[in-house]
Amino acid sequence: MDGCLDVVIGNDDADGDPDRVFLGVFSDDNSSGVFEGGFDTWQGFAPLSNPLATPGELGVNDTQADDTRAVAIADLNGDGVPDIITGNYGKPNKYYLGTWTDGNGDGICQPGEWTGFTATGVDFPDGDSNTYDIAVGDIDKDGLMDVATADQGQKDNVFLGAWVDGQGGNPADGVFQPGEWNGFIWNELNWGASRGVALGDLNGDGVLDVVYGKWNQTNVYYLSQWDDVNLNGVCDPGEWTGFGNRTDIGSDTHETHDVALADIDADGDLDLVVGNVGTNYVYFNNGSAGGWASSQITGDTEETYAIGVTELGAWMICRRTRRAGSSRYRRRPFSRPSSRRVCPRARGRCG
């Protein structure tokens, strides 16, 4: 909580090594206690200091080593402090809440009050998982962060943040307070072989939907459903009712590692970028016209482990690839179907 970005690294080989946290370090030249780019000098990273364990270790009291494939950071319990989620393979997924002391008595974590993370990870309620990816967002519009996981050989899962009104000494007034957070409610979707997951509003109704990248199966999405009880055209707290039926994105199947959502063609709706073993693809969302128009991403065919979209230039993506045991990063343009209009953003090289 000092304004400087930090890093969480997951252990993915189940060799007994813990997940680790590294904190951004800076010279507080302006004596403000908060990183200010124009005044302070960023000095790199240092491992989270913990007197009970190796510096940087996460979950010092956990009783088993985890095979961690995915990590996400979000404020789960609504106290304004980031928490950590680890997606594990063959073990339960866990979350670690950020801890702090309210030295100022104002109910807000100020710089210098953050103390670390809970020493023991809390298991998600679905038991052992085969999680490859995690997405976090407020799906049911209640102001709490929800979690979607992509699981290989299991059902896709969504965990909704839960709270108990009046818990933790707070008044039972129907308004969430940080002490009222009560973990997650588990929701199962269809069975599948998922490696990637992303949240985004696909149909423009203001509510998050979920997309899953599948391994040797068609990629799919689920649209959020809700009842407009208040008749205001907005999904208010309590009006979200779940997800609709599973819908295929196109008809082709690939060995998909990762997915990302962005408005690639600047037409106002989210498109899907897919990282595969072999050729990567973009699926253009046709909105109210229905369906998805696919386009291959130009460049090499290789095993893409992670994919993202930058705004450094139109039609640019950033891919992480692995070949012959080495890792490298590339940014490449991709082609678009000739029937679609050109994105008005300027084209350019991005690295």
Question: Which residue from 309, 310, 299 is spatially nearest to 332, judged by alpha carbons?
Answer: 299
pLDDT of residue 213: 96
pLDDT in tens, 26-76: 444 454 444 445 544 454 555 554 433 344 567 767 777 788 899 999 999
pLDDT in tens, 263-272: 988 889 999 9
pLDDT in tens, 290-344: 689 999 886 667 788 888 887 653 333 444 444 444 444 455 554 444 444 333 3
Please tell me whether the overall predicted TM-score, pTM, comes out greater than 0.75 for this model.
yes
Q: What is the DSSP letter of 287?
A: G
pLDDT more than 90, % of the chain: 47
pLDDT of residue 326: 46
**Cα–Cα distance measured from residue 331 to residue 349, given in angstroms and rounded to the nearest whole number:** 8
Report the pLDDT averaged over residues 190-201: 92
CA 86 and chain centroid, separation: 11
Per-residue CA distances from 304 to 171, 277, 283, 307 (Å):
50, 6, 17, 7
pLDDT in tens, 88-133: 999 999 999 999 999 888 888 988 888 888 989 999 999 999 999 9
Q: How many residues does the chain have?
A: 351
Instruction: Determine the residue type at 321.
Output: T
pLDDT of residue 196: 96
Instruction: Write out the two tokens for 140.
Output: 């049911």
Report the pLDDT averaged over residues 224-249: 94
pLDDT in tens, 135-186: 999 999 999 999 999 999 999 999 999 999 999 888 898 889 888 999 999 9
**Cα–Cα distance measured from residue 213 to residue 191, given in angstroms and rounded to the nearest whole number:** 13
